[in-house]
Amino acid sequence: MIQLKNLQYTWPGQDNPILTIKDWQLSQGDRVFLYGSSGSGKSTLLNILAGLLQPQQGSVRVLDTEITTLGARARDAFRARHMGFIFQQFNLLSYLSVETNIQLAAHFGVKNRSISPDRIIELMQQLSLGEQLLSQKAGQLSVGQQQRVAMVRALINHPQIIIADEPTSALDSDARDEFIELLLQCADNNQSSVIFVSHDKSLASHFSLSININDLNSLAVSS
């Protein structure tokens, strides 16, 4: 699913790279917990996998596509078609309805511009969200409801890869564990791989594979 080789990324204006990864691979169906302290490069790595950042060196293959060779528009289309994202701040448009927020993700996925309403309702039901919420503005929902809507949006295009960047930081422990289990259950139903990022190592027990980003960064790039 994902293969990185001799990857290096340095932020503009910095002398030392924040990421230096010699070789890292993930397989289909992996449930990965990626952890590390703030500033360790977790979100930078996610942005590289998504094609939002281009490394100065190395290969980034996602679903057998070398995304570093794609232009910006092609990377955007690839991300929309094959990846689902759940962000720490959810990134819902508060003034739009829940249904419109979800449909926007379907639209940008191109192949699913005419996504079936049944698909939306199916995912809403899986996440214990009432169908009546579809007409409400996203900003009127509780934090927990917004988080689940963000999950529906991430899953709407049947993504092969789901990336969750610190999505449980605002939840208490019970709500956090429930959300993770729901996410993994939906990923199983959708046959999606999962990369879940957090600074909280205690969440690792939910996942089949746990990786400290500092361990990835400890290998030097070969010349």
Buried b (16+ CB within 10 A) or exposed e, 70-91: beeeebbbbbbbbbbbbbeebe
Q: State the Cα–Cα distance between residues 209 and 183, nearest whole angstrom.
A: 16
pLDDT band at 147 (very low <50, low <70, confident <90, very high): confident
Tokens coding 178: 């429930």
The reported pLDDT for the residue numbered 222 is 43
Nearest Cα residue to 53 out of 22, 7, 87? 7
Segment 7-47, tens digit of pLDDT: 999 999 988 999 999 999 999 889 999 998 888 899 899 99
Per residue in 81-95, pLDDT (tens digit) is 899 888 877 788 889
Q: If we measure between CA atoms, which residue out of 65, 29, 4 comes closest to residue 190?
A: 29
> Cα–Cα distance between 71 and 91 in angstroms, integer?
25
The per-residue pLDDT of the chain, averaged, comes to 86
Q: In Å, what is the CA distance from 32 to each residue of 10, 40, 54, 210, 213?
A: 24, 17, 22, 6, 12
**Structure-model confidence comparison of residues 189 and 205, the more confident one:** 205
Q: Are 9 and 56 in contact (CB under 8 A)?
A: yes
Phi-psi region of 201 (alpha: psi -120 to 50; beta: other; left: phi over 0): alpha
User: 28-57+80-212 has which fold?
Assistant: Rossmann fold (3.40.50)
- Mean pLDDT of the region 129-135: 88
pLDDT at residue 183 greater than cutoff 50: yes
Residue 147 near residue 180, CB atoms below 8 Å: no
By CB neighbour count within 10 A (0-12 exposed, 13-18 middle, 19+ buried), where does 6 fall?
middle
pLDDT computed for residue 66 by the predictor: 96
